[in-house]
Amino acid sequence: MKKSLLIVLTFCMLTYTNKTFSQASLRYLSETFSSVTVSTNVIYGNNISVLTGTPSSIPLVMDVYQPTGDVLTARPLIIVLHAGSFLPSVANGMAIGKKTDSAVVEMCMKFAKRGYVAVSADYRLGWNALSTNQDVRTGTLLNAVYRGLQDTKNCVRFFRNDAANANLYKIDVNRIAVGGFGAGAYLAMAYGSLNKTAELNLSKFINQSSTPPASYVNQIISGNFDGTDATALNTPNYATQSSSINVAFSLGGAAGDSSWIEAGETPIICLHAYKDPYAPYKTGNVIVAATGQFVVEASGSFDATKRSTRLGNQAIFQNSVFNDVYSTKAILNSAGIPGLYTHITPAPGPNMSCTGANANPQIEQSAPWDWWNEPVFIASYNAYSGTSNGTPLACKLKLENPDMSAIKGRKYMDTIQGFLNPRLVCALNLPGCVPASNTGIQNISNGNDLSIYPNPATFEINYVISDGNTIKKIDLFDATGRIVISLDGLNTNKFTLNRNQLNQGLYFSKIELGNKTILSRKIIIK
């Protein structure tokens, strides 16, 4: 089976000298607006909630972030969905779970300052997480995901409807991204992949206790995937508008099953803490945080992006050049899978003093980018529960994020934006994306005759050609296009290149063979 290799004609084109293009590409890649205008609690639709157990119609609301003073009339849209385990904030035993969560606000502000229209949207909540019956836990969670997916698609259609009529928000309807944190990330992962009834009929999504066994999600009652039909539990909104998007992104989310992802579907960008105890990084169990009870098996960021890559959905990231420090780090920590950033968080520490003599130990961090106002949470929980348990619960939450603070959260958000945003620029086809063709890199077909190993490398790199050809010349370029090693007159079928004083990072290795073919490979030195 043939693999795609890269021809490097020149690396100097990585540095753009065209002033007009540089000015155009500054927007989106950098914060070019100093202030943001926020419209709060904008109603984007209505639908049927089952949060209280009795179905009732509720408004669906969002906050819209726009760059102040922007004169563009067609701007890309990014919808951000909050975390919270599909239950209301505080009632879920967490300090997060609303559209005004600190991390969500920070992300929307950063996007708006870059020239996007950013939206923090609420969605319907409610499932029975504390049931002792697994069918109830699994079924109610899957239906919560399904309702949230319908609401998110409704939000996309709201903006397309606005663009076609009042055009208050000046959206480019051909450039839309959807992403989220935690539970919202599950919705983003499902957005581009959960689209066939057969995907709801996998064995793990079938309630074997019902007679006859049937899918936990009943579309006759809940409506279709887009939520554009009228049923007992769904009210259609803007049904004639398209729900399509260009790209989805996930922070600590998972797909219900990797088989949901099929060729031709939306590319995904995933950021995930490697040892997240609640959302599997690969494929594993989703559990109830409060009880540890099993809910369903899901496919996390590693398996989802790996499959998406194999099916060709990540091609936009493979065919673009990212030479920033975040991309280099991602390659080192994420097996080179395009669109995946793996957060390696510190190992859990000792017991925390605020939990007393019978303290639980710290656990692996799941969402180190979150932060919250601890006194406000304690007071809110005490008022909600009618107890004084807010203080010990606040400490328990910090077992998952022991150095929780605005400073820490914003540092993580800088990393998230540094990795996420350039890929959004490419997936949305915005100015500033650097396609491989612009750097003189082209894909060609050339079998498996050339081997370069190990990669990533620590001390040395081996080059082996096995088809009777010879290696004549090797050039090594750093990520800026500067040549750092050049070796000519080799005339061998195997050569070992010592690392010497090369720094850790991303390099491009250009190989000239005896038949004058020029090949290139990405090399990681760690």
Residues 419 and 500 both lie in one domain = no
Which portions of the chain are predicted below pLDDT 70? Answer: 1-25, 351-359, 437-448, 479-481, 515-521
Residue 363 belongs to a domain: no
Strand duo 268-273 + 340-343: pairing: parallel
Residues 329 and 461 both lie in one domain = no
Q: Identify the domain boundary among 435, 468, 487.
A: 435
Distance from the Cα of residue 92 to its chain's centroid: 23
| CA–CA–CA angle 420, 421, 425 (5° rounding) | 125
Q: What's the token pair of residue 291?
A: 């009880």
Residues 210 and 307 both lie in one domain = yes
Residues 190 and 332 both lie in one domain = yes
CATH label of the domain that carries residue 481: 2.60.40.3080
Q: Which pLDDT belongs to residue 6?
A: 34
Contact 268, 305 (CB under 8 A): yes
Q: What's the token pair of residue 212?
A: 């006859």
Residues 420 and 318 both lie in one domain = yes
Residues 243 and 196 both lie in one domain = yes
Closest to 393 (Cα-Cα) out of 355, 348, 363, 357:
355
Residue 193 belongs to a domain: yes
Residues 54 and 149 both lie in one domain = yes
Q: Which pLDDT belongs to residue 23?
A: 36
Q: Which pLDDT belongs to residue 5?
A: 31
Q: Which pLDDT belongs to residue 524?
A: 83
Residues 336 and 463 both lie in one domain = no
Q: Where are the alpha helices (DSSP H) in 48-177?
A: 102-113, 134-164
Q: Which residues share a beta bridge with 495?
A: 463
For the segment 176-207, what is each residue's pLDDT rounded down to a tens digit?
A: 999 999 999 999 999 989 999 999 999 999 99
Residues 336 and 455 both lie in one domain = no
Residue 27 belongs to a domain: no
Contact 259, 234 (CB under 8 A): no
Q: Which pLDDT belongs to residue 361?
A: 80
Residue 378 belongs to a domain: no
For the stretch 60-78, what's the b/e string if a residue is b when 16 or more beta carbons lie within 10 angstroms of its beta carbon?
bbbbbbbbeebeeeebbbb
Residue 237 belongs to a domain: yes
Counted domains in the chain: 2
- Residue identified by tokens 């350039």 is 422
| CA–CA–CA angle 173, 177, 183 (5° rounding) | 140
Cβ–Cβ contacts within 10 Å for residue 336, how many?
Answer: 14
Domain that holds residue 155: 33-349+410-435
Q: Which pLDDT belongs to residue 26?
A: 82
Q: Which pLDDT belongs to residue 373?
A: 97
Q: What's the token pair of residue 139?
A: 């079924």
Residue 253 belongs to a domain: yes
Residues 325 and 450 both lie in one domain = no
Strand duo 171-181 + 206-207: pairing: unpaired
Residues 157 and 294 both lie in one domain = yes
Residue 182 belongs to a domain: yes
Beta carbons within 8 Å of 251's beta carbon, 6+ residues apart: 179, 180, 181, 182, 185, 270, 271, 272, 367, 369, 416
Strand duo 483-487 + 471-478: pairing: antiparallel
Residue 339 belongs to a domain: yes
Residues 331 and 460 both lie in one domain = no
Q: What's the token pair of residue 473?
A: 């010349």
CATH label of the domain that carries residue 215: 3.40.50.1820
